[in-house]
Amino acid sequence: MSRPTIAAVARAAGVSVASVSRVLNGLPATEEMAERVQRAVAELGYVPDSRARSLKVGRTFQLTLAVADVGNPVYVTMMRAVEEVVSAAGYRLVVTTTGPDVVDEVALVRGMARGYADGLVISPLRVDDDLIKSIQECDVPVVVAGNVPARAGVDTVRANSPKGMLLAVEHLLTTQRHKVAFVNGPVDTVPGTARSKGFTDAMKANSLNPVAQVEADDFTFAAGREAGRRLLDQLGLETTQPSAEGARAPGGEASSPSSFPAAGGGGIDAVIAANDLLAVGVMHELAARGLRVPDDVAVIGMDDSELAEQSFPPLTSVNLGSAERGRRAAELLLARIEDDTRTPRRIVVQPSLSVRRSS
């Protein structure tokens, strides 16, 4: 038995389809009419087809959130925030994953023309002219949670990475750390570029020279660990442990009661990582080499995701406002759906530092 249609309901209620539609949409009708329709609806278990409806009204009341990697906890925070805003506005949120390639992002945006949703929040890892063009030409409103050139003329809400980097570097200085290394993600990504420049500027602003810099292949834990390996190799820090079994904890007891940097960091006393996953990967590699966090090396991540509290030791992390970015992005999208003529806004969310035990 197939799904009942509005016609079936009309027949069962002995009224016209128009009346059923009206009752269902809360338009004026007599008490009795409403009653009869409701009964028929309940009896048949009728549920309106959203495709047919949206074909007619031109809206789906669905919104899409596209992220590159569901495994990145920063997106969890963002998803939650977006979900909250859009569901309060009566929209359904669906999440899709694009993967790391810009071509897939472009395909996703182009695909929106198929009418899947009334709007899109996209947090692109990589941006090129094709992507910008696809966003500009998109049939539904798009807001970018990330950084695209102002001339693109699209709504964006982005983090302030340079400011965030400044917070990180200044925190390190305050805690007497001067020999800092930087583990970035792929520099051909939007966040990778921003972090790179931010780090360089922040160091310069504090008259510091980076001791070392490496670039991970990806914004993932595995890539972070691998990058940490390269970093420490580069610094001439061989693995000190005879076996994995005996590897020391990153948060092992301090060798001295104070929290001043101990020797043994092999030329560095701090690492800043471009996100939390990378930071945790680096901490694992430090531990594998017998280096303690924060005693030998302080570690700072970025994003202040759930992983930062879950990691051990808990990770000091630059809060780039992912929840607020999600919220603002959702609000921007809703506003643009409401009024497509408003001039594009570019919102920048300010960072803060969540100091935990890794620094």
Partner DNA sequence: TTGAAAGCGCTAACAC
Partner DNA sequence: GTGTTAGCGCTTTCAA
Residues that bind DNA (CB under 7 A): 2-3, 5-7, 15-22, 24-25, 28-30, 32-33, 46, 48-49, 52-53, 55-57
- Closer CB to DNA, 17 or 355, in the complex: 17
H or E element at residue 133: helix 129-136
Q: Of DNA, a copy of itself, none, which one sits near residue 29, judging by CB under 5 to 8 A according to partner kind?
A: DNA
- Closer CB to a copy of itself, 201 or 306, in the complex: 306
Collapsed DSSP state (helix, strand, coil) of residue 357: coil
Among 42, 52, 150, 205, the residue binding a copy of itself under the rule CB under 8 A is: 52
* 252's tokens: 């092992």
Whether residue 128 contacts residue 120, with contact meaning beta carbons closer than 8 Å, is answered with: no
Among 283, 332, 349, 353, the residue binding a copy of itself under the rule CB under 8 A is: 283
- Closer CB to DNA, 21 or 62, in the complex: 21
Left (φ > 0), alpha (ψ -120 to 50) or beta: where does 271 sit?
Answer: beta
Strands of the sheet with 212-215, listed across from one edge: 212-215, 180-184, 270-273, 298-302, 316-319, 352-354
Q: Of a copy of itself, DNA, none, which one sits near residue 310, judging by CB under 5 to 8 A according to partner kind?
A: a copy of itself
215 sits near a copy of itself (criterion: CB under 8 A) = no
Strands (E), 128-169: 142-144, 155-159
Among 10, 23, 83, 289, the residue binding a copy of itself under the rule CB under 8 A is: 83
Q: Which residues of 206-223 are buried (b: 16+ CB within 10 A; e: fewer)?
A: eebebbbbbbbebbbbeb
221 sits near a copy of itself (criterion: CB under 8 A) = yes
Closest by CA to 183, choosing from 210, 147, 146, is: 210
223 sits near a copy of itself (criterion: CB under 8 A) = no
Size of the site for a copy of itself (CB under 8 A): 63
Q: Of DNA, a copy of itself, none, which one sits near residue 107, judging by CB under 5 to 8 A according to partner kind?
A: none
- Closer CB to a copy of itself, 209 or 243, in the complex: 243
Left (φ > 0), alpha (ψ -120 to 50) or beta: where does 45 sit?
Answer: left
CB of 348 to a copy of itself, least distance (A): 26
In angstroms, the Cα distances linking 305 to 17, 26, 72, 217, 318 are 51, 43, 9, 20, 9
* 177's tokens: 């750390």
Collapsed DSSP state (helix, strand, coil) of residue 281: helix
Residues 244-263 close enough to bind a copy of itself by CB under 8 A: 244-254, 259
Among 55, 103, 150, 205, the residue binding a copy of itself under the rule CB under 8 A is: 55
Q: Of DNA, a copy of itself, none, which one sits near residue 357, judging by CB under 5 to 8 A according to partner kind?
A: a copy of itself
Residue type, 300: I
Pairing of strands 180-184, 270-273: parallel
Rule CB under 8 A: which residues touch a copy of itself?
A: 2-3, 45, 47-52, 54-55, 60, 62, 64, 70-71, 73, 76, 79-80, 83, 92-97, 110-111, 113-116, 137, 139, 221, 244-254, 259, 277, 280-281, 283-284, 287, 306-307, 309-314, 357
